[in-house]
Amino acid sequence: MNKNDFLYRYIHKRMIGVLATFGSNGYPESAVMEFGDTKNLELIFDTLSTARKYKNLRNNPKVAFVIGWEDWTTVQYEGIAMELHGKELAEYKKIMFAKNPDFQKWEKLADMTYFKVTPTWIRYSAMGVTPWEITFSK
């Protein structure tokens, strides 16, 4: 199995992660998020346009995620977030809803928005083994 397949399987099994964005004051802000994912290692999430993360993303699309943490394993993920619209939005919502149908309960909220994150750097770490296992992608 290649690195990207391994990372996809690891990420796809998880339902939540921690998203970090940059506030207008330059300080990081974090939130626990549900997310969808693609085989290209993109992440998909929703947020209200009134949420501070939405405002942060409009000012600076650079994000970080931490996914996992059980069994001393984790994926650290950095990327660029892009708000989805039109046909691309419909395509990515299908992917997200297939992973977690509960996302649909928020879809009809007037202020709901959706983002896709394209990875720029990913690292898987298994710290419960000796020596630690570290896998990089991108």
Q: What is the pLDDT of residues 67-97, one digit of tens each?
A: 998 889 999 999 999 999 999 999 999 999 9
Task: Provide the token pair at 135.
Answer: 């896998």
So what's the pLDDT on residue 29? Answer: 94
Q: Cis ω on the peptide bond leading into residue 131 (within 30° of 0)?
A: yes
- Does the structure show a pLDDT above 90 at 65? yes
Question: What number of CA atoms fall less than 13 Å from residue 111's CA on the CB side?
Answer: 8
Q: What is the pLDDT of residues 12-47, one digit of tens each?
A: 999 999 999 999 898 999 999 999 999 999 999 999
- What top-level class would CATH report for the domain 3-137? mainly beta
Token pair 């949420």: residue: 51
pTM for the structure as a whole? 0.93
